[in-house]
């Protein structure tokens, strides 16, 4: 073989397999092969499944041949070499996963060209197979990812429904006292009216009590409506108000378990942040409930508490929630934000609550969520960046 032909072969060999993207890989090879062998044009047809062949790349002049006829004849032959007209010849070369078709001048050295293709055939086929395998693997990963996201979404919905069920129970408990007061006041007015002893002062006192408690009932409805209806609605909020809403929605169920919610410190300056209302409430409720469940296991603990604080630091809005349940085992503290990790009995826990909270704070809000053990128990830290508006 002459040095010129050896150089051509070397350049063609080096143009194969430089990408795992099939189109990119074959385009680089075709460009090199066309240039080095003085081809007029070159095309690659890929066969990903049996009895199918689709054009992936076409370089140079438009095809001057019937591709369907060529593909049919290649099923029985490795190479087709024929004149297209008096000046141009077609060279079709079959591969395991497709074929290459070139147009050349009739004066070309076809023995040399086909000998190069024969020497490159194995490497071309191996790399085509690798590229197709990568494509298939990517498709499988995408399908698996979609399926996992679908399952996660279902679990998140289950979590949300579970939390809503708890909140409905809280609201029912919160409403008992004001409903009793309204009932007592209205009954008192009716009795005094019937006895003709209802004074103007009595009337004012009764109506004031009814209005105050009716307003309280209305506010709890508004809170619950915000949690459900606005859960996917982006708004600028006051962080203090979101924190207060979370504690108000939970305090009844906590008091039943003799758990005290203590405000340790709340920043006086109104802290603005733009986010989805339901997201922040979901995070806060998840962490508060996590602390509540830990405290429920401490039967011998006389005084149970959950302390929260809200502070503005130089760069962040910092929310902390601490309990006195004794802390998290050091062997698992780094795993509690992992998906499906739970220390609860399988019937009670899905392991998705803290994972969901972590995803909201870290991935949606570009913040931080972490936990540390203190001398009393576990302390969760939520850091939100200052002076940034998020469109989620």
| Residue with more model confidence, 248 or 92 | 92
Residue that is last in its domain, among 93, 112, 144: 144
Q: CA 189, CA 202: separation in Å to the nearest integer?
A: 8
Residue that is last in its domain, among 144, 166, 197: 144
The band of 340, judged by pLDDT with boundaries at 50, 70 and 90, is low
Together in a domain, 365 and 256: yes
| Residue with more model confidence, 343 or 289 | 289
- Would residue 270 count as lying in a domain? yes
Residue that is last in its domain, among 144, 179, 197: 144
Match 């001398």 to its residue by tokens. Answer: 375
Q: pLDDT for 277-295, tens place per residue?
A: 678 888 998 899 899 999 9
- Would residue 328 count as lying in a domain? yes
pLDDT at residue 349 is higher than 50: no
Q: CA 261, CA 323: separation in Å to the nearest integer?
A: 9
Together in a domain, 23 and 126: yes
The band of 261, judged by pLDDT with boundaries at 50, 70 and 90, is very high
pTM: 0.55
Task: Give me the mean pLDDT over the 202-230 stretch.
Answer: 76
Q: pLDDT for 142-192, tens place per residue?
A: 898 888 888 777 776 776 676 666 667 666 666 776 787 788 888 888 888
Task: Give me the mean pLDDT over the 232-258 stretch.
Answer: 83
pLDDT at residue 2 is higher than 80: no
- Would residue 264 count as lying in a domain? yes
pLDDT of residue 204: 87
- Would residue 179 count as lying in a domain? no
Task: Give me the mean pLDDT over the 328-339 stretch.
Answer: 89
pLDDT at residue 63 is higher than 50: yes
- Would residue 117 count as lying in a domain? yes
pLDDT of residue 347: 36
Burial of 385 (0-12, 13-18, 19+ CB in 10 A): middle
**What share of the chain in percent tops pLDDT 90?**
39
Together in a domain, 276 and 387: yes
From 170-174, 317-321, 325-329, the region with the lowest mean pLDDT:
170-174
Together in a domain, 266 and 132: no
Task: Read off the tokens for 369.
Answer: 């969520």
pLDDT of residue 391: 39
Together in a domain, 23 and 132: yes
| Residue with more model confidence, 8 or 226 | 8
pLDDT of residue 341: 66
- Would residue 279 count as lying in a domain? yes
Together in a domain, 100 and 246: no
- Would residue 27 count as lying in a domain? yes
Domain that holds residue 302: 231-392
Task: Read off the tokens for 254.
Answer: 């906590």
Together in a domain, 237 and 370: yes
Together in a domain, 285 and 381: yes
What integer best gives the mean pLDDT of the chain? 84
pLDDT of residue 170: 63
pLDDT at residue 91 is higher than 70: yes
CATH number for 18: 3.30.450.270
Together in a domain, 392 and 251: yes
pLDDT at residue 231 is higher than 90: no
Overall number of domains in the chain: 2
From 123-127, 168-172, 248-252, 384-388, the region with the lowest mean pLDDT:
168-172
pLDDT of residue 169: 67
Question: Are the C-beta atoms of residues 60 and 74 closer than 8 Å to each other?
Answer: no
3-state secondary structure the chain: CCHHHHHHHHHHHHCCCCCCCHHHHHHHHHHHHHHHHCCCEEEEEECCCCCCCEEEEEEECCCCCCHHHHHHHHCCCCEEEEECCCCEEEEEEEECCEEEEEEEECCCCHHHHHHHHHHHHHHHHHHHHHHHHHHHHHHHHHHHHHHHHHHHHHHHHHHHHHHHHHHHHHHHHHHHHHHHHHHHHHHHHHHHHHCCCCCHHHHHHHHHHHHHHHHHHHHHHHHHHHHHHCCCCEEEEEHHHHHHHHHHHHHHHHHHCCEEEEEEEECCCCCEEEEEHHHHHHHHHHHHHHHHHHHHCCCCCCCEEEEEEEEECCCEEEEEEEECCCCCCCCCCCCCCCCCCCCCCCCCCCCCHHHHHHHHHHHHCCCEEEEEECCCCEEEEEEEECCCECCC
**What share of the chain in percent tops pLDDT 70?**
86
- Would residue 203 count as lying in a domain? no
The band of 312, judged by pLDDT with boundaries at 50, 70 and 90, is very high
Together in a domain, 136 and 242: no
CATH number for 337: 3.30.565.10
């Amino acid at each position: 073989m002459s040095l010129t032909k050896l150089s051509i072969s070397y350049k063609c060999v080096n143009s194969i397999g430089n990408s795992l993207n099939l189109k990119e890989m074959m385009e680089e090879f075709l460009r090199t092969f066309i240039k080095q062998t003085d081809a007029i044009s070159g095309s690659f047809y890929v066969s990903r499944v049996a009895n199918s062949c689709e054009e992936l790349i076409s370089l140079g002049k438009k095809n001057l041949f019937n591709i369907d006829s060529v593909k049919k004849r290649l099923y029985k032959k490795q190479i087709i070499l024929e004149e297209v007209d008096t000046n141009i010849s077609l060279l079709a070369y079959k591969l395991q996963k497709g074929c290459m078709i070139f147009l050349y001048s009739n004066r070309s050295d076809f023995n040399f060209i086909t000998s190069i293709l024969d020497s490159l055939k194995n490497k071309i086929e191996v790399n085509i197979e690798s590229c197709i395998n990568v494509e298939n693997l990517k498709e499988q990963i995408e399908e698996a990812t979609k399926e996992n996201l679908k399952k996660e979404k279902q679990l998140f919905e289950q979590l949300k429904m579970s939390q809503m069920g708890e909140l409905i129970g809280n609201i029912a408990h919160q409403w008992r006292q004001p409903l009793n007061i309204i009932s007592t006041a209205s009954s008192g007015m009716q009795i005094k009216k019937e006895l003709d002893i209802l004074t103007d002062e009595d009337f004012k006192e009764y109506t004031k009590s009814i209005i105050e408690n009716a307003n309280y009932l209305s506010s709890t409805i508004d809170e619950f409506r915000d949690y459900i209806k606005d859960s996917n609605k982006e708004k600028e909020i006051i962080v203090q108000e979101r924190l207060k809403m979370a504690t108000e929605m939970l305090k009844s169920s906590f008091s039943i378990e003799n758990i005290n919610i203590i405000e340790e410190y709340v920043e006086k300056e109104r802290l603005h942040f733009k986010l989805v209302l339901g997201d922040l409430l979901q995070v806060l409720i998840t962490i508060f409930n996590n602390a509540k469940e830990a405290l429920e296991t401490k039967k011998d603990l006389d005084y149970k508490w959950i302390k929260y604080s809200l502070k503005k630091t130089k760069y962040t809005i910092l929310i902390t929630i601490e309990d006195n349940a004794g802390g998290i085992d050091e062997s698992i503290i780094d795993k509690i934000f992992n998906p499906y990790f739970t220390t609860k009995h399988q019937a009670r826990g899905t392991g998705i609550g803290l994972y969901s909270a972590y995803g909201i704070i870290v991935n949606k809000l570009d913040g931080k969520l972490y936990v540390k053990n203190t001398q009393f128990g576990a302390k969760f830290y939520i850091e939100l960046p200052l002076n940034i508006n998020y469109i989620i």
